[in-house]
Amino acid sequence: MKRRPRRSTPATLTALVLLGGCTVVAVAAIQLILGQRPWLDYGVLHRIHWNELPVAVSGGVLVLSGLTLVLAAVLPGRLTILPLRGETDSGASRRSYRSTLRSAAAGVDGVSRAKLTLRRRRVAAKVRTERTNPTGLAEAVRAAIEQRVAQIDPAVQPRISVKVARRSN
């Protein structure tokens, strides 16, 4: 199971821009039908030539925003459900995976605080300790995380890196 995030931000932005444009056109059309002066001054638009700076700038902005929306729609997002080995429909959420590994790192004797970041194929743990001699702590944290990863059994085994910092008082 590979569940990717929804594309709600690009869809919402596109919908809001289209709604705003349709509203402006509808209000201008209604104002013209009623014989009132419209919000849009078509005389200004008729006096602008295609090779002028405002047209080039607005065209560039529209092209850039369009390319951004297309890239946001086409490029895959970060997995929200990480696939596990075993059954085909098994998975773990990123949040629970990260918190489980963080608790495994924080449970090692001598660790006062643990921070964990997940990347595509890497788990990076930063742990703080109050020990004066943190020798062997990184290996113990790595072993605890590796044991928990083996229990979870993700489809892609991550590389694990651990950094130990002494807490300064």
Average pLDDT over residues 94-104: 92
Strand partners, 114: 127
Q: How sure is the predictor about 68, in pLDDT bands with cuts at 50, 70 and 90?
A: confident
Decide if 10 contacts 69 (C-beta within 8 A). Answer: yes
The CATH code belonging to domain 81-166 is: 3.30.70.1350
Q: What pLDDT does 40 receive?
A: 77
Q: What pLDDT does 7 receive?
A: 76
Residue pLDDT, tens place only, 131-160 = 888 889 999 999 999 999 999 988 888 999
Nearby residues of 76 by Cβ (< 8 Å), 6 or more positions away: 4
Decide if 116 contacts 105 (C-beta within 8 A). Answer: yes
Q: What pLDDT does 70 receive?
A: 84
Domain ranges of the chain: 8-74, 81-166
pTM of the model: 0.63
